[in-house]
A and B are shown apart, each in its own frame.
Chain A
Amino acid sequence: MNNGDKDHAALAQQFNRDEPRVNWHDETLWWVRAKRDKAAHTIPGWEHLRETASRIKNNVLSNMYGYLQQFEENARKNGVIVHWAADAGEHNEIVCGILQKHGINKMVKSKSMLTEECHLNDYLQQNGIEVIDTDLGERIVQLAKEPPSHIVLPCIHKKKEEIGELFHEHLGTPEGNADPQFLTHAARLHLREKFLTRRAALTGVNFAIAETGEFVVCTNEGNADMGAHLADVHIACMGFEKLLPQRKHLGVFLRLLARSATGQPITTYSSHFKKPRKGQEMHIVLVDNGRSVQLGREDFRNSLKCIRCGACMNTCPVYRRSGGHSYHTAVAGPIGSILAPNLDMRKYADLPFASTLCGSCSNVCPVKIDIHDQLYKWRQVLMKEGYGPAAKKLAMKGMTFTLSNPGVYRFAGKTGRWVMGKMPFIVNNKLNPWYKQREMPEPPAQSFNEWYKKNRKAD
C-alpha cells in the first residue's frame, strides 16, 4: 500500500487526527473483544481448550516435514493437484499458470490473507486477469482500492456512509443510502452475478488435515462455497502452517476459532473440501514464503501456530487506536508485528515497537502464542542487527553509562530536576513529545536518595 514510507508512529499519528473516529474504531473493536469474552466464558474448560490447541500446534510444528508429505500424498489420492511455492512470486505464477491453462481471465476469490501477503491481485491484474473479492468487507476495500485493515473484519475502518458512497459509485445504489441491510443486499445481487459467471474460484484455507488430505474453509457469508461449488476450477492457497494432524483435531479448533474471532459459537459454514466434484479441477498451493525460516527461529517459530482469528487485534489497545493500515503490512496488529519482521527486518523494524507490551494479546490467543514476549524479543534482534536509528543507540549507550555509574546518575538526576524546576521552558516545549499533550511531573526538592541520607543515615 502507499503509505509514503511512513512508520507506524507517523501513520498512527495521522489516524489520531480525527479523535471521534478513533473513539468509534476503538469502541467497535472493543465490542468484538467483549463478545469474545462472553463466548469464552460460556465454555467450561476454555483454558484447557486453548492449552490443547496450543499443544496440537506444537506437535504440528515439530513434525511439519512428515505431516506435509502425508497431506500431499492424501490430497493427491483424493484427486487434488498439489503445488509447492517457495515464495510469493512462485505462488502468484502458479495461480496465474492454472488460470491461463484454462484460458480464464476472470476469477472470484474469497478471503485469503495469504494472497494479500503475496499481492496476488496486483500480479493477476498485470497479467490481464480480473479478480473479484467476494467477502463483503474485502469487496468494499477492493472498490475503495485499499488493502484490508483487519484479517477478519477487512473494512472495520470504514463508516457505513463511506460504503454507501462507494456502492453508489460502483454498484449504482441510490445516493445517500447507508443502511447496512440495504447495502448488503445490493452486494448480494452484485456478487451473485459474479459467482454465476466466473469459471474459477480461489479460496483460502483455515485448516488442512494430514490424515485425510482434506482442507477446511470457514466463512459466515457462504462466499467461499458459492465460488468453489459453481466454478470449474477451485484453487485453494495455504501457508503450510495450516496443517493439523487428524480430522478429530478440528473439533478443538472449530470450537476456538469463531468464538475467539467474533464471539460466535462457530462460523455459519465450516466446509470440508476433500475431493473435487465431478468434472471439476481442484488445486492446492502450499506456500512457504519465509515460513520455513521462521520455523527455524526458536524464539519466533510459534508465531506459526496462528489460526488468524484476529482476537489479538481486537484486544490490542494500540491497534484499536491506530487502525490496521498503520501497520503497513498484510496482517496488522500484534500477530502481524511478529510475523512481518521475519519477511523484511528493515521494512518492518518499527512494528515490534508499536506496542506497550501489555500482554493482552497473549491472553486472548486461542493457541497461546507468547505474542508480547516475541515483540520484546524482536526488539532485541532488530536493534542488535542494526535496524535502529544510530541516534537511538547513542542515547541508549549514554543512558547505560549514567545508570551504571551511581555517581553520574545522582549528578544527572540533580541537574535534570534542577533544569525542570528552574527553567521549565527548556523541557516544557513543543519539541518534547511528552509535553505535547501531557504535563511534566513536578520536580521534588530532593530525591529519595537524598532524603534517605538526611533522615535515616543516623539510624
Chain B
Amino acid sequence: MTVALFVPCYIDQFYPQVAIATLELLEKFGVKVVYPPDQTCCGQPMANSGFEHLTHSCNELFIKNFAGFDYIVCPSGSCTLHIKDHLHHEKEEEKAGQIRKRVYELTEFLTDVLKVEALDARFPHKVGVHQSCHGQRGLQLSQMSELVAEPFSKPGHLLKMVEGLELIELNRVDECCGFGGTFCVAEEAVSVKMGKDRVKDHVEHGAEYITGGDMSCLMHLEGILRRQNSKVQVKHIAEILNSKQ
C-alpha cells in the first residue's frame, strides 16, 4: 500500500512538526509513504472566498502531484473535504474522481482503512478535543450533536488508546471555533469572539491541551490562548497519537 502524504500549506509553512508526526505515525503502521514535493495547496482559500473558478491551475497541480496513489492522507479534515467535494478538472476528470475517492483525513484513515486498535503512545495530560466542522460535519468523523443518531467519534476512539491521556467533557461538543478560512479576518470580531468562547469551554473544564484534526482551527485558538497568556497549549492530534512523553 502506497500512501501519498498531502500536507496543507499552512502546516508546511508554520507547523512542520504536524506533518512529521503524520509521516512517522503512518510509517509506524508499516505504510509506505510518499511525499510529492511539488505540492502547494488544495485551493480552498480561494474557493471559500467565492473564487472556485480561479482554482483551475491549482487543481491541475494537485492532480499532477497526487494521481495514481492507493490512498492520499492528509492531517486536515478541512483540506480533505475540499478535495473530496470540489476537485474537478475538465481534461483530467477521471483522475480527479479517483483522487476524490482516495483522499482520507488522517484519523479516518487510521480508523477505517488501517483499522487501528492499539497505539504505542503516551500523553499524560488532560486534553480537550476541538472538532473541526469540516472534519466532523463534512467528513463525519464523529456524530453531530444536531442529529438524533448513535454517537461515535473516530478521533475520540484513537485518543482513548493513548496511555495517560484524559479526555475532558465540554459544554458544547461541536460548536465552531470561528476560524472559517478568510472569515477569520473578514469577520474579525465574530471570529475572535467564537474562538474566545471555544477556548473558555476547554479552559473551564480543565484542559491542559486542546487537540483536533485541523491545525487551522488550532492556530486560531492558539493565537487567542497566547494573547491571553494562557498556559493551555494546542497540539494536533497526529502529534499526540505519535507522542512518547
A and B touch in the complex (CB under 8 A): yes
Cβ of A453 to closest chain B Cβ, rounded Å: 7
Across the interface, B149 reaches (CB within 8 A) one of A9, A47, A403, A406, namely A47
Residues B16 and A404 in contact, CB atoms below 8 Å apart: no
Please indicate the chain B residues that have their CB under 8 angstroms from the CB of A449 in the complex.
7, 12, 37
Closest to B33 in A: A456
Is A66 close to B, CB under 8 A? no
* Chain A residues closer than 8 Å to B195, beta-carbon distance: 438
- Flag whether A440 is at the interface (Cβ < 8 A): yes
Q: Across the interface, do B133 and A359 meet the contact criterion of CB distance under 8 Å?
A: yes
Report yes or no: A448 in contact with B16, Cβ–Cβ below 8 A: yes
The reply to whether A448 and B148 contact each other, CB–CB distance below 8 Å, is no
**Bound: A104/B62 CA distance, A:** 68
- Which of chain A's residues has its CB closest to B133's CB? A358
Hey, what's the 0/1 contact readout for B8-50 against A, CB within 8 Å counting as 1?
0101111111011000000000000001011111010111111
Select from chain B the residue with minimum beta-carbon distance to A315. Answer: B146
B58 touches A353 (CB 8 A): no
The CA of A318 and the CA of B190, in the complex, are separated in Å by 7
Partner pick for A409 among B9, B174, B181, CB 8 A cutoff: B9
From B110-118, B157-165, B203-211, B222-230, give the one contacting chain A: B222-230
Q: In the complex, what residue of chain B is closest to A392 when comparing beta carbons?
A: B49
Beyond A444-B14, A444-B15, 4 extra complex contacts between A and B, CB < 8 Å = A16-B190, A359-B137, A413-B12, A436-B188
B167 at the binding interface (Cβ < 8 Å): no
Closest to A326 in B: B190
* Cross-chain contact A447 with B60 (CB below 8 angstroms): no
Q: How far is the CB of A349 from chain B (nearest CB, A)?
A: 9
**A residues near B7, Cβ cutoff 8 Å:** 448-449
Q: List 11 contacting pairs A-B, 8 Å CB cutoff, sorted by A.
A: A9-B188, A358-B137, A360-B137, A393-B51, A399-B45, A400-B55, A406-B37, A437-B224, A439-B222, A451-B20, A452-B35
**Chain A: residues with CB nearer than 8 A to chain B?**
8-9, 12-13, 15-16, 19, 22, 26, 30, 37, 40-41, 43, 46-47, 315, 317-318, 321-322, 352-360, 362-364, 376, 379-384, 388, 392-393, 396-397, 399-400, 402-406, 409, 413, 416-417, 432-434, 436-444, 446-453, 456
CA–CA, A29 to B157, complex, Å? 31
Q: How far is the CA of A383 from the CA of B48 in the complex (A)?
A: 11
B40 and A317 within 8 A (CB): no
The interface centre, meaning the residue of B46, B182, B189 with most chain A CB atoms within 10 A of its CB, is: B189
Q: How large is the interface on B (under 10, 10 to 19, 20 to 34, 35 or more residues)?
A: 35 or more
User: How close is A110's CB to chain B, nearest CB, in angstroms?
Assistant: 30
Residue B180, interface by CB 8 Å = yes
**Residues on A with beta carbons closer than 8 Å to the beta carbon of B190:** 9, 12, 16, 318, 321-322, 354
Residues of A contacting B188 in the complex (Cβ-Cβ under 8 angstroms): 9, 13, 433-434, 436-437
Choose among A13, A15, A379, A443 the residue that contacts B49 (Cβ–Cβ < 8 A).
Answer: A379
B179 within 8 A of A: yes
Contact of B57 among A355, A380, A400, A434 (CB under 8 A): A400
Q: Which residues does chain A contribute within 8 Å of B61, judged by CB atoms?
A: 403-404, 406
CB atoms of B185 and A434 under 8 A apart: yes
- Complex Cα distance, B217 from A438, in Å, reads 13
A356 to chain B, nearest CB (A): 3
Shortest distance between the CB of A71 and any CB in chain B (Å): 33
Q: Does B166 contact A (CB under 8 A)?
A: no
B9 CB contacts on chain A under 8 angstroms: 403, 409, 413
Q: Cβ of B168 < 8 Å from any Cβ of A?
A: no
Contacts of B13 in A (CB 8 A): 413, 416-417, 447
State A388–B48 Cα separation when bound (angstroms): 13
Complex formed: what's the CA distance from A374 to B175 in Å? 20
The answer to whether A356 touches B189, judged by C-beta atoms less than 8 angstroms apart, is no
